[in-house]
Structure 1
Amino acid sequence: MSSSTVRDVTFALMRELGLTTVFGNPGSTEETFLKDFPKDFRYIQTLHESSAVGAADGYAQATRRPVLVNVHTAAGLSNAMSNIMTARMNKTPLIITAGNQTRNMLLMDPWLSNVDPTMLPRPWVKWSYEPVRAQDVPGAIMRAYAAALQPPAGPVFLSLPLDDWDQTANGQAVAREVTRRVGPDPTRIADFAQAISKAKDPVLIFGSDLCRAGGEGGREGWQAAIALAEKLNVPVWAAPASERAPFPETHPLYVGGLPFAIGPLCDKLQGHDLAVVIGAPVFRYYPYVAGDYIPQGLRLLHITDDPEEAARAPVGDSLLSDALLAVQSLTPLVASRHAKTLTVASQAHRMAPHPAPEEPEAADGQLSALLLFDVLHEVMPAETVLVEESPSNVAQLHRAWPIETPDTFYTFASGSLGWNLPASVGLALSERDSQRNRPVLTVIGDGSFQYSVQGLWTAAQHDLQIIFVVLRNDEYAILKSFAQLENTPNVPGLDLPGLDIAALGKGYGCASVVAKTADEVRAACEAALKRKGPTVIEVPIVPNVPPLI
């Protein structure tokens, strides 16, 4: 008979699986899990559950390993939902756990209990479970680990009653290895290769899955994508609203990011007879602009590791496969197309889904977003990890800052604000753990900054070298863009007066400064690069409402 507790066995399993860094915000129903926290484990505390999930997401993406997140019961899980949704769309393997009330009281739906624990996080988790017995907790952790990793990777959820941990375990847990990649059907990939070889004017559309595939650093996915594109000698687009850069933006075959709307996207593909989408949905759309999904006479081939993506695609023939394995299989099978050198006209806004607005006239000497980004690109080291959550300025950012190295650009796949600030904490922690020690630059709007501002505290507590550049335009400019497109004048709540960004940063323990000129921005960044710990740089910019199509 085992004398080990459920807690002993579970922590031993977590050690074996490498789940020794736990992100969380503690609550009363989690303290039995956290008591006498082992010295070989590390607890990364955040001040809000959404920040815990965002930071864990950044860390998991950078390390390419599953990460455990511990949040409070129903209330904390509800707080975390926006970033759980983002983690699902980012395809990030997270094991999210929350305590629940003592089993002896669950029948009565007591205070601070998760009344329907498996339903609350749906549909944004791959698997949701509360063990029937305390002794099932270690096995549930193992199953959660396997489910989070298997393609398509994503978050899973476990509800764990607080009195389970001290129960006697049924022996030791068994750790298992599971695959995280699925290869293409040989017959289907051969058919795809034949269609590509026969096409007169094909085009490639790459998605973020190519960045996630392969080993640490992302180079394997980029190298495979480049090899296929160069053998075919065809234009390369990034899929709409890609959260990672799937292809070097200075490559001569790279065009840019496809627009985010049905009609304009179709227009960009005119003249091609075949489009091959690899590692992305078909397609992300918003706002709605009517039109055909694809031009008449164009055939679309779709390669994804997600059966749901394949099922919901409105057009195209799908193949289930890891993006990298599919590209590596296709490349030797397709015919080379080197009869002539292809000239591709790259769009100025590169991966951004919409063009940049015309440069505004300077007001009282304020910088424009484009001028600010030019300065940042000039002053920051080439190896900087760039994190972006400034929707109204994304076109100017990509115009000024081409992504030329894999795993150096991150943003959120969901469109739900509040991911990028805490994600940068996880990314910077990974930089330290891996000893790469690349600086992290987070470009964020003054509105976006408010959604997870408490993430600054965690960055400060761990002395992480993150530079938060906060663009202060005193408005939700992207919502003003939608108001123009949707013809909805006089919408309230689109202005943000009275924010003191630098004071907020200082209050959470960050070095903070207001920089109003190019020279001041340059000096602030240079000082931040020499400083231990995070820096908040508030930069007033000229307000400008971008076009959406």
Structure 2
Amino acid sequence: MVMTIREATFKLLRQLGLTTIFGNPGSTEETFLKDFPKDFRYIHTLHEASAVGAADGYAQATRRPALVNLHTSAGVCNAMSNILSARMNQTPLIITAGNQTREMLLMEPWLTNVQPAELPKPWVKWSYEPVRAEDVPAAFMRAYAMALQPPAGPVFLSIPLDDWDKPALGEPVARCVATRIGPDPERVAKFAELLSKAKNPVLIYGAAIARGNGWKQAIALAEKLNAPVWAAPASERPPFPEDHPLYAGGLPFAIGPLAKKLEGHDVAIVIGAPVFRYYPYVEGPYLPNNLHLLHISDDPEETGRAPVGDSMLCDAVLALEALEARVKARSTAPKVKKQAQRMAPQPAAPEPCQCNMLTALELFKTLHEATPAETVLVVESPSNLGELHAAWPVKLPDTLYTFASGSLGWNLPASVGIALAERDSGRNRPVLAIIGDGSMQYSVQGLWTAAQLELPILFVIPKNSEYAILKSFAALEKTTGVPGLDLPGLDLVSLARGYGCEALRVENVDGVRKACAQAFKRLGPTLLEVPILPTIPPLL
């Protein structure tokens, strides 16, 4: 009996270990999903952005690629913000969508993806609609290879809906691909020599170290060099333990302030991050005088666009190992003064208030005390990052996730994927998602999937009833009178209950502690709305 394209494709997906599909079904995808195999699992989301976000979280937490099925051009458009985040997170996703029947493509009927290969660009590494139905299984294999090869990232396949029942050419061909780039011997020797001869070297670590499970290697290089360690600006994954004596904090993400933080150093090396991630324009030199910058990344686009620095293409963790083997040990330890994290150099000073409302800092300290040490944080509350890291230094690897893109709506569904990975792996660490009341609205539908899967996620919503981070930008940019920065009238408890979650509002420390104790014993998600004192943090 001749295999169909569907049978050959599902056989290949089994061989590649891709038996979980995240999606929101549509008419052009039903021919792919019909007679759904019993050994596959479909993770149903209510919106395509949630499908991509959940798959991204799952892929990061399992360190394996994930498969997403969207609905033709409409679904791809809905998902674009989280496709952008997946690309910047360097998450290997195979994103598929149906298209109209081949016989009708010429006349562009309703729900046609008119330019399927162009639509998701530039935020996918490879985008393709097979020329023939017979090419579909091989296209999946190429998509798998492209997604995994460095730098990892999302890829896209468009499949006309009538392809699936056509006969396959034969058995699908599965193959393995390399996922790491090793160091150039001459280049790594030169970098090691410069670090060894430096009078005051500094290390700048990025999220690729965390993605590569490289904390051990990052610590070994830092301790051998006895050099301070900064986290690269706006790192989406902590690359180094924040309680380590050599940890200096997170660099600011603006040109002038960042250069000022590096004054006094003669050699700096950036490993596993861009040079640099900036957002507000604050003029100044890229680097202080007499600083020689070195840059290691597995992404040639990242090294190509860097405005300064000598680069080497290499996997971040392999680079750490190669450098640690070659640098000379330094016996003198630097005096490291820890700086505040990310955007806010200091937690915002609360305005005088007689309302007894919790501050963000008080809330985060309480959450830290009330949750297990191995709790996994998923964070999308931009205006409170200074307070969060002051209250909750990240001490264990793979215990904090956020998004690299700045595009809101990733973290809520990503926490669903991360919690699912915790359950599938048997680690079963608690998952705590801290999401602002404004950020929550971008992918609120993810609450339904968490409830349907009975995932014990605790969603904590610090409710300040405003876009505080935008007010911070308004202050920096001197843009007064901007409309739409306040968020009155949101009932987050009712929203969460409508999606099937347990939900409550608490207003004090005791209430937060009690809610935490109950949430992680519950079968299913809990949403905790906590009003906090509104503050406008300084960005820089």
- 1:467 corresponding residue in structure 2: 458
C-alpha contact (below 8 Å) 2:227/2:333 kept by paired residues: no
Partners of 1:151 and 1:28 in 2: CA distance: 34
C-alpha contact (below 8 Å) 1:241/1:353 kept by paired residues: no
Partners of 1:194 and 1:342 in 2: CA distance: 20
Partners of 2:194 and 2:497 in 1: CA distance: 58
Quick check: 363-372 or 322-331, which moved more?
363-372
Describe the SS at the equivalent of 1:249.
Answer: coil
C-alpha contact (below 8 Å) 1:4/1:171 kept by paired residues: yes
Q: Please report how far the alpha carbon of residue 471 of structure 1 lies from its aligned counterpart in structure 2 after TM superposition.
A: 1.0
The 5 A counterparts of 1:144-293 are: 144-213=143-212, 218=213, 221-293=214-286
Describe the SS at the equivalent of 1:451.
Answer: helix
Answering whether residue 318 of structure 2 is matched by residue 325 of structure 1, we say: yes
Q: Percent identity?
A: 69
Describe the SS at the equivalent of 1:99.
Answer: strand
Partners of 2:353 and 2:38 in 1: CA distance: 55
- 1:98 corresponding residue in structure 2: 97
Q: Deviations over 1:127-182 (max 9, x none)?
A: 00000000000000000000000000000000000000000000011000001101
Answering whether residue 387 of structure 2 is matched by residue 396 of structure 1, we say: yes
- 2:121 corresponding residue in structure 1: 122
- Which of 430, 442, 462 matches 1:439? 430
Describe the SS at the equivalent of 2:97.
Answer: strand
Q: Please report how far the alpha carbon of residue 278 of structure 1 lies from its aligned counterpart in structure 2 after TM superposition.
A: 0.1
Partners of 2:354 and 2:45 in 1: CA distance: 38
Q: Please report how far the alpha carbon of residue 74 of structure 1 lies from its aligned counterpart in structure 2 after TM superposition.
A: 0.4
Q: What's the C-alpha RMSD, in Å, of the aligned pairs?
A: 0.8
Q: Please report how far the alpha carbon of residue 205 of structure 1 lies from its aligned counterpart in structure 2 after TM superposition.
A: 0.1
What is the letter of the counterpart of residue 21 of structure 1?
A: T
C-alpha contact (below 8 Å) 1:95/1:155 kept by paired residues: yes
Partners of 2:529 and 2:3 in 1: CA distance: 53
- Which of 356, 378, 386 matches 2:347? 356
The 5 A counterparts of 1:339-488 are: 340-347=332-339, 349-350=340-341, 354-488=345-479
Q: Please report how far the alpha carbon of residue 363 of structure 1 lies from its aligned counterpart in structure 2 after TM superposition.
A: 4.4
What is the letter of the counterpart of residue 543 of structure 1?
A: P
Q: Please report how far the alpha carbon of residue 360 of structure 1 lies from its aligned counterpart in structure 2 after TM superposition.
A: 3.6
- 1:499 corresponding residue in structure 2: 490
The 5 A counterparts of 1:301-312 are: 301-312=294-305
TM-score by length of 2: 0.99
Q: Deviations over 1:506-525 (max 9, x none)?
A: 00000000011111111111
Write out the 4+ residue segments of structure 1 that deviate beyond 6 Å after TM superposition. Answer: none
C-alpha contact (below 8 Å) 1:360/1:368 kept by paired residues: no
Q: Deviations over 1:284-319 (max 9, x none)?
A: 001110000001110100000000000000000000
What is the letter of the counterpart of residue 341 of structure 1?
A: A
C-alpha contact (below 8 Å) 1:53/1:69 kept by paired residues: yes
Q: Deviations over 1:480-519 (max 9, x none)?
A: 0111111110100000000000110100000000011111
Count of residues paired in the alignment: 540
Partners of 2:92 and 2:376 in 1: CA distance: 21
Partners of 2:32 and 2:386 in 1: CA distance: 45
Q: Deviations over 1:180-226 (max 9, x none)?
A: 1010100110011111111111100000000111xxxx3xx001000
C-alpha contact (below 8 Å) 1:362/1:368 kept by paired residues: no
- 2:528 corresponding residue in structure 1: 537
Partners of 1:106 and 1:440 in 2: CA distance: 45
Q: Please report how far the alpha carbon of residue 356 of structure 1 lies from its aligned counterpart in structure 2 after TM superposition.
A: 1.4
C-alpha contact (below 8 Å) 1:257/1:353 kept by paired residues: no
Q: Please report how far the alpha carbon of residue 352 of structure 1 lies from its aligned counterpart in structure 2 after TM superposition.
A: 5.2
